[in-house]
């Protein structure tokens, strides 16, 4: 049975006509409240993942649970369907279990807090936020084990729980949760910061309702959702073709030597509705690279992508969800069955954005974006310092953002909304390491009319004995280029030991011992290029060379010849561009860098690393997974 909402005031809300000025005031007040939630969180949390990198996602929703402002889309519907208890005034809910909330969160490190906002006995809105905890226990520090086979190996998993009941903290429950974490003081601080953030939203929503009246506030939130529906309806009509489009991409491996794993999606439009069908995606992994993709969450990903590419002026919220239909077959990589491991789902999460880019741009190549979100690299370092105190770092890395219709992709950047890097000064002050290198990698962005963003190289110099974990991808497959653009560079991790020996690390590994003087060079991937690189203006290539973003040798990939004096040889440039255009095999819509077998052979030749082998899927899954096709093409 779904949740039972207890309201002492049964008076129904009445829909009112909202004038444009009032709507504008409430819209901006809601946006301000959402950013105030962030400010409260970032100033009071302790972990660098939340405090410095902003790995947290706020939301304010209407009384029906539809997100009006926020980042990650509404997950309240999943909570209300899954929770079987009562929802009463003063309650605050906590869960870290993706399986308990229909994938509203996708691994147990994300602590999700939800608060119904009551006014005079009835719900007028919802506030929610989740943040990534640096540690929740489990078999490795950081709680993201690459070799986990069940979610129970990844740390404490909290079911849907009333952590505050009628306004009273359930301290005994919270103490049990914290007892299972390696950094309980960080978890407690981050938890309290999240609670403070949702209470801030509660205060602001009640203030708005007091100012404009309950009915007007209720009506304004609905109008903001309706406005988004109308805008997205037109956008879908204008940009999504009726003809079925297909696209597929791969996660390189699972950290246990198996891969790649295919993510396949079809898309088409029926009237005003866009359909997504993930039939053909590989079965779930026996490892931890599974991504429990909530259908509503995917709609949010798709909506954000479309708005950013086609019309950034549209205010993003949940109003358009009825215009999308999503089918994800059960037992696949994107809808694994419990208790499949989920901790390292970040690789599939990043790849979903590349798949979206490949789908949405096919019908209108002028709006096609290259690959380059691709992943969200993680680095972890832990141990005991010379004083015997435990230290533990969790950090998210950045890569090259893809070339896009409007211009070059940023270098060493994040596509996650509002994410920032952890300042090197912070790292060196609080952890036993030194940052020897922090730079973008020349030539790592894919050449194109619009260059893909360059990858990032960070040199971690370890000062104390400890262990590290590395989580990254795109070391086998390339971030592909589009419309004639070339792929970006693949990722690489190189350990230079204190004795001078070099060791090429795998993309996903745990429990790697490090000692003082060891240096890890953590290189991410570049973004794919957009458009014909031979059409990039020569002066832009020269600027990139002067800025150190492209080398003189790399300039030749654009057909630009730079002589020993750093000047352009105009005649040689014209001739080189003519010859390159004549020799290539046409302009490719997508340049993947080769077939999977070709990429495996190249990987072995260039790195000496053994490429992954055919994945081993759970034995109970049939070859066809027993899932019928969603529907035939229109």
- Any domain includes 453: no
Quick one: three-class SS letters along 389-406?
CEEEEEEECCECCCCECC
Among residues 103, 76, 96, the alpha carbon closest in space to that of 87 is found at 76
Omega prior to 413 cis, within 30 of 0: no
- Any domain includes 112: yes
- Cβ–Cβ < 8 Å for 456, 372: no
> What pLDDT sits at residue 1?
65
> What pLDDT sits at residue 625?
43
Distances (CA, A) of 236 to 204, 233, 241, 303, 320: 34, 5, 9, 10, 10
Q: How far apart are CA 464 and CA 383, in angstroms?
A: 8
Task: Name residue, tokens 């995606």.
Answer: 281
526: Cβ contacts below 8 Å, ≥ 6 apart: 372, 399, 400, 441, 444, 445, 446, 452, 453, 454, 455, 479, 488, 489
- Any domain includes 207: yes
Number of folded domains in the chain? 1
- Any domain includes 74: yes
Tell me what the mean pLDDT of segment 80-102 comes to.
91
Q: Which domain holds residue 79?
A: 4-231
Q: How far apart are CA 47 and CA 56, in angstroms?
A: 11
Taking only the tens place, the pLDDT of each residue in 432-489 is 999 999 999 999 999 999 999 999 999 999 999 999 999 999 999 999 999 999 999 9
Q: How far apart are CA 145 and CA 385, in angstroms?
A: 23
How many other CB atoms are found less than 10 A from the CB of residue 270? 12
CA-based angle 47:79:135, to the nearest 5? 20
Percent share of the chain, pLDDT over 90: 81
What pLDDT band is residue 100 in, cutting at 50, 70 and 90? confident
- Any domain includes 244: no
Taking only the tens place, the pLDDT of each residue in 579-606 is 999 999 889 999 999 999 999 999 899 8
Task: Name residue, tokens 């914290």.
Answer: 178
Q: Whole-model pTM?
A: 0.93
Taking only the tens place, the pLDDT of each residue in 23-42 is 999 999 999 999 999 999 99
Handedness of CA 103, 104, 106, 108 (dihedral sign): negative
* Element housing 519 (H / E): strand 519-523
- Any domain includes 370: no
3-state secondary structure of 252: coil
Q: How far apart are CA 415 and CA 434, in angstroms?
A: 26
- Any domain includes 626: no
For residues 141, 144, 150 and 152, what is the CA-based torsion angle, rounded to 10 degrees?
Answer: 50
- Any domain includes 439: no
Q: How far apart are CA 558 and CA 535, in angstroms?
A: 8
């Amino acid at each position: 049975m779904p949740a039972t909402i207890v309201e002492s005031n049964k008076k129904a809300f009445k829909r009112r006509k909202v004038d444009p000025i009032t709507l504008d005031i409430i819209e901006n007040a809601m946006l301000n409240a959402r950013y105030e939630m962030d400010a409260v969180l970032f100033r009071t949390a302790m972990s660098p993942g939340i405090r410095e990198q902003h790995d947290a996602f706020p939301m304010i929703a209407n009384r029906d649970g539809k997100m009006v402002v926020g980042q990650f889309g509404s997950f309240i519907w999943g909570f209300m369907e899954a929770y079987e208890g009562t929802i009463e005034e003063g309650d605050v809910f906590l869960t870290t279990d993706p399986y308990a909330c229909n994938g509203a969160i996708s691994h147990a490190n994300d602590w999700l807090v939800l608060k119904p906002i009551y006014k005079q006995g009835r719900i007028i809105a919802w506030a929610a936020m989740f943040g990534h905890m640096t540690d929740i226990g489990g078999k490795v520090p950081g709680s993201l084990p690459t070799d986990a086979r069940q979610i129970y190996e990844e740390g404490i998993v909290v079911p849907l729980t009333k952590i505050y009941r009628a306004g009273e903290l359930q301290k005994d429950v919270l103490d049990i949760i914290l007892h299972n974490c390696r950094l309980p003081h960080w978890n407690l601080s981050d938890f309290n910061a999240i609670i403070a953030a949702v209470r801030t939203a509660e205060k602001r929503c009640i203030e708005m309702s007091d100012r404009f009246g309950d009915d007007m506030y209720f009506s304004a939130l609905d109008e903001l959702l309706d406005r988004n529906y109308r805008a997205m309806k037109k956008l879908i009509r204008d940009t999504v073709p009726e003809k079925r489009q297909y696209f597929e991409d791969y996660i390189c491996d699972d950290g246990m030597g198996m891969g790649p794993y295919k993510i396949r999606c079809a898309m088409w439009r029926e009237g005003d509705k866009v359909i997504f069908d993930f039939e053909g995606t590989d079965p779930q992994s026996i490892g931890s690279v599974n991504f429990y993709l909530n259908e509503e969450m995917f709609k949010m990903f798709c909506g954000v992508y479309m708005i950013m590419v086609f019309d950034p002026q549209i205010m993003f919220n949940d109003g358009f969800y009825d215009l999308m239909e999503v089918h994800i077959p059960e037992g696949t990589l994107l809808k694994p069955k419990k208790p499949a491991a989920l901790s390292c789902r970040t690789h599939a999460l990043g790849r979903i954005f590349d798949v979206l880019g490949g789908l949405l741009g096919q019908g209108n190549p002028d709006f096609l974006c290259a690959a380059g979100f691709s992943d969200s690299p993680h680095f972890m370092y832990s141990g005991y310092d010379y004083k015997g105190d435990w230290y533990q770092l969790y950090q998210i890395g950045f890569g090259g953002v893809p070339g896009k219709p409007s211009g070059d992709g940023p270098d060493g950047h994040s596509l996650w909304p509002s994410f920032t890097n952890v300042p090197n000064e912070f790292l060196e002050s609080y952890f036993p390491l030194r940052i020897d290198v922090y730079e973008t990698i020349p030539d790592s962005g894919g050449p194109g009319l619009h260059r893909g963003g360059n990858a990032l190289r960070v040199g971690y110099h370890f000062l104390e004995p400890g262990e590290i974990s590395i989580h990254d991808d795109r070391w086998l497959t390339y971030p592909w280029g589009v419309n004639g653009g070339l792929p970006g560079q693949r990722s690489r991790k190189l350990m230079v030991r204190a004795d001078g020996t070099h060791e090429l690390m795998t993309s996903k590994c745990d429990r790697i011992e490090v000692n003082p003087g060891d240096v890890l060079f953590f290189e991410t991937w570049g973004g794919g290029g957009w458009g014909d690189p031979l059409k990039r203006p020569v002066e832009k290539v020269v600027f990139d060379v002067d800025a150190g973003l492209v080398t003189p040798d790399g300039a030749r990939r654009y057909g630009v010849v730079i002589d020993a004096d750093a000047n352009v040889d105009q005649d040689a440039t014209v001739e080189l561009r003519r010859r390159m255009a004549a020799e290539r095999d046409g302009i490719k819509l997508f340049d993947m860098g080769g077939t999977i077998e070709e990429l495996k052979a190249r990987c072995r030749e260039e790195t000496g690393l053994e490429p992954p082998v055919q994945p081993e899927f759970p034995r109970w899954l049939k070859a066809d997974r027993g899932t019928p096709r969603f529907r035939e093409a229109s």
